[in-house]
Structure 1
Amino acid sequence: MKDESSVTNASDNARQTTTHDNSQPASPEAAASAAEPEDVLTFRGHMVAGAVAGTAEHLAMYPVDTIKTRMQALSHPGQQLRGSTLARATKAVIRREGIRGLYGGFWAVAAGAGPAHALYFSAYEAAKRALNGDRPGHHPLATGAAGVVATLVNDGVMVPFDVVKQRLQVARSPYKGVTDCIMKMLRYEGVGAFYRSFRTTIVMNVPFTAVHFATYESAKTAMARWAGREQEEETLLVQLLAGGTAGGVAAGVTTPLDVVKTRLQLQGVHSPQHYNTSAMIPVLKRIMAEEGQRALWSGLKPRILFHVPAAAICWGTYETSKSIMQHM
C-alpha cells in the first residue's frame, strides 16, 4: 500500500509539473494577441468617459459661460454687461430675456462637446502613456505635453461649434437657432468663418491645457502625500479639489487670450467692428489701444467661476466613469 501511494503521488506531481511547465512559454505573438482586446477596450473606455465628462461639464456650467461671453464681447447699446458683477449680469439677462437667454446656442455645444471630449481625453491618455513610458510616478512636463497633444485634437473638432455657440449667446443675436446660424455663416462668410479664431484658440488652449493637466496631476500627487495615501487610492474628493484648482489657475492666466478669441468670433455680429485679421497680436494691441489693458481681463471672474466647478465636474465625472468601466 505504501509503495502504491508513493507511485500515485509521484505520478500526480509529474502531471502537475508538466501542466505548470506547459503554461509558462508563450510566444510574443500570442501575448500581443491576448493583450490587444484590453488595449482597445481601454482606449474606447477613455473615449466614453471623456464624452460623458464633457457633456456633464457644459450642461452644468453653460449659463456662466453665456455671461462670460457677453462680458467679453463689445457691448450692444443699452445692454452693458462689461464691468458688471456676475450676479448683476445674470439678473439683467434673465430680466430682459428670461432663463432661455442664458442658454442661447446650447445645442451647438451639446452636439460638439461629446465627440470633442472623447477625442480630448483618449488622446491625452495615449500621449501621457507614450511620453511617460515605464517611468513610475508623476512627471509634470510629460503631463503638460500630453495635454497639448489633446487640445490640438480637441480644437480641430470643437472650434466650429464654439463659434456658433458664441454667436447665439450674445444679446439680440441675428440668428434664429443653430441651423440658421450655420446656413447664414456658410452663405455670407464661407467655411473660413468657422475657423477664424482657430489660431488664437490654439495659442490660448495650448498654455491653458498644459497648465491645467500639469496642475491637476501635481495637485493629486500632493494631496495623496499630504493624506499619507498612495495615488492609486485617490478619492472623488481629491479629484474634485484637484480639478477645481487646475481649472481656476489655467483660466486665470489665459483670460486675455480668451478675450481676443471671443472678439474674433463675434466680430460683425455683436458689433459692426471688424479687425480685418485672424492674428492674435494685432487684435490684442488694438484692444489695448482703444479700450485699455483692463479690457483684456473682461470676464475674468465668470471665467474662473466657470472653470473651477467645470473642471471639478469634468475630472470627477471622467475618473468615476473610468473606474466604473474598469470594473464592468
Structure 2
Amino acid sequence: MDVRDVSITHAHPMSADLEEIKSIEKTSQGVEALKDVAFGSFAGIVGKFVEYPFDTVKVRLQSQPDHLPLRYTGPLDCFRKSLRQDGFLGLYRGISAPLIGAALETSSLFFSYRLAQDAVQAYVLPNRDPLPLSALVGCGAASGAFTSLLLTPVELIKCKMQVPIETRGTVISRPGPFTLIAAVYRHHGIMGFWHGQMGTLIREMGGSAAWFGSYEGVTIAFRKMAHGKRNLKSEEGSLPIYQQMLAGAVAGMSYNFLFYPADTIKSRMQTGEVLAATGARQTFWGVGKATWNQHGLKGLYRGCGITVARSAPSSALIFTIYEALRKLFP
C-alpha cells in the first residue's frame, strides 16, 4: 500500500461524516419548512373564518363607485343592508378562494420569514443570535414581498365575488369563482390575475414588516418585564397565553392600519373594470389619485375601523395557534 492509499483510506470516513451531517441538516430544514407550511396553513384558515364577514363589509365599503351617491354610510349600515339583502351566509360569499389564500398567505409568511432569518444569520449577521429587532423587521418585509406574488390572484377573485354586480340598484349577477377565473383569463390573459399587484406588494411588504416586527417587539418587551433587561427572544419557555394573544392582536392592528390605503386602491382596482373609460389600463397610482381627488384621505381609509377591529382577534388566534402547534410538535 503506498502513501496515496493511506491518505484515501483516512480521508474517506471523514468525507462520509461530512456528507452525513449535511444530509441531517437538509432533512432538518425540510422538516421545519413542512411544519411552517402545515401549521401556518391551519392557523390562517381558522383566522379567516373569524374575520371573513368583516372583510366582506370592508371590501364593499372600499369599492363604492366614485360617480354615485355612497351606497353605505358606514360599517354598521353596510352590515345591516348586507344581512337584509343576502342573509348571514351571504357575508361568507366567496370564502372558498380566501380560505386557499389564507392558507397560502400565512404558511408562506412563516416559511419565508424563517428563510429570511436563516439567510441574514448566514450572510449578513453571522454572529448575532438572536437577531436584533431591526433585522426581524427586514425579514418580515422580505416575507411579505414573496407572499404578495401568491396572494394577488386569490384576492382578485375574492374581491370580485364579495361585491355584487348591480345595475340601477338591482342585483343582476353573482358569478362563481370558476366563472370569474375563466372571464379574467379570457379577457386579460394570465397576467390579468396580477391586476392590483402593486397594492398587494406595498401592503404585504410594509404590513408584514409591521406584523412580525410588532409581534417580536411586544414579545421581547413581555420577556424583559418577566426576566430583566436582557434580550430574551431565545429564552427557554413560552409566554402566558394572554400575552401571546395580546402580541398577536397588536401585530394584526399594526399590519392593517399602517398600509391600509394601498389595500383600498387594490380593492378598487380589482372590483372595477380593468380598462378605464379612456381605454387605458388602470394603474395603482392612477386609481389612488382618482380616489384622493374624489374622497380625500377619508376615502383611502374607508372601512379601516372595522378592518383593524377584526384583525385583532384574527391575528391573535393565528400566532397563538401557530406557536401552540410548534410547541406540540417540536
TM-score scaled by length of structure 1: 0.83
Work out which of the residue numbers 51, 61, 65 in structure 2 matches 1:61: 51
- Residue 111 of structure 2 corresponds to 122
Task: Give per-residue Cα distances to partners, 1:175-218, cap 9 Å, x unaligned.
Answer: 43111111122223333321110122102221111111111101
Alpha carbons of 1:46 and 1:118: their partners in 2 closer, same or farther (altered >3 Å)? same
2:193 maps to what in 1?
194
Tell which deviates more after alignment, 71-80 or 141-150.
71-80
In 2, Cα distance between equivalents of 1:265 and 1:34:
46
Letter in 1 for 2:191: G
Q: Secondary structure at the match of 1:47?
A: helix
- Structure 2 CA distance for aligned equivalents of residues 275 and 136 of structure 1: 54
Matches of 1:120 and 1:137, distance apart in 2: 19
Contact 2:252/2:312 (8 A) holds in 1:
yes
Who is 1:162 aligned against? 155
- Supply the AA of the counterpart residue of 2:71: Q
The Cα of 1:73 is off from its aligned counterpart by: 0.7
- 1:111 is aligned to 2:100: yes
Amino acid paired to 1:50: G
Match of 1:318 in 2: 322
Q: Which residue of 1 aligns with 2:286?
A: 282
Q: Secondary structure of 1:292's partner?
A: helix
Query: Structure 2 CA distance, aligned partners of 1:236 and 1:79?
Result: 42
Query: Which residue type is aligned with residue 300 of structure 2?
Result: L
Does the Cα contact within 8 Å between 1:264 and 1:275 map onto a contact in 2? no
State the Cα deviation string for residues 79-131 of structure 1 (Å, max 9, x = none). Answer: 712x41x3332122111111122012111112333234322211111211321
Match of 1:303 in 2: 307
Aligned mate of 2:139, from 113, 133, 146: 146
CA distance in 1, matches of 2:296, 2:277: 17
Unaligned runs of 5+ in 1: 1-25
| Preserved contact between residue 120 and residue 154 of structure 1 (Cα < 8 Å) | yes
Distance 1:288 1:322, change over 3 A: same
- Kept in 1, the 8 Å contact 2:276–2:282? The answer is no
Task: State the distance in 2 between where 1:318 and 1:107 align.
Answer: 22
Conservation of the 8 A alpha-carbon contact between 1:275 and 1:283: no
The percentage of aligned residue pairs carrying the same residue is 22
Counterpart for residue 214 of structure 2: 215
TM-score, with length taken from structure 2 = 0.82
Change (3 A) 1:36 1:272: closer
Q: Give the aligned partner of residue 46 of structure 1.
A: 36
Question: How far apart, in 2, do the equivalents of 1:32 and 1:259 lie?
Answer: 47
1:239 and 2:228 equivalent? no
Counterpart-to-counterpart distance in 2, 1:172 and 1:33:
55
> Separation in 2 of the partners of 1:116 and 1:275?
33
Q: Residues 260, 240 of structure 1: CA spacing in aligned structure 2 closer, same or farther, 3 A cutoff?
A: same
1:221 Cα deviation after fit = 0.3
Distance 1:184 1:34 in 2: 48
- Provide the alpha-carbon RMSD of the alignment: 2.5
Q: Give, in whole Å, the separation in 2 of the partners of 1:291 and 1:240.
A: 36
Moved more, 101-110 or 279-288: 279-288
- Residue range with higher mean Cα deviation, 150-159 or 168-177: 168-177
Q: Closer, same or farther in 2 for the Cα pair 1:94/1:218, shift >3 Å? A: same
- Unaligned runs of at least 5 residues, structure 2: 1-15, 167-172
| 1:262 alignment partner in structure 2 | 267
Q: Which residue of 2 is the match for residue 80 of structure 1?
A: 71
Corresponding residue number in structure 1 for 2:295: 291
C-alpha displacement of 1:323: 1.5
Change (3 A) 1:199 1:79: closer
Worse overlay, 147-156 or 273-282: 273-282
SS at match of 2:43: helix
User: C-alpha separation between the residues in 1 aligned to 2:191 and 2:28?
Assistant: 41
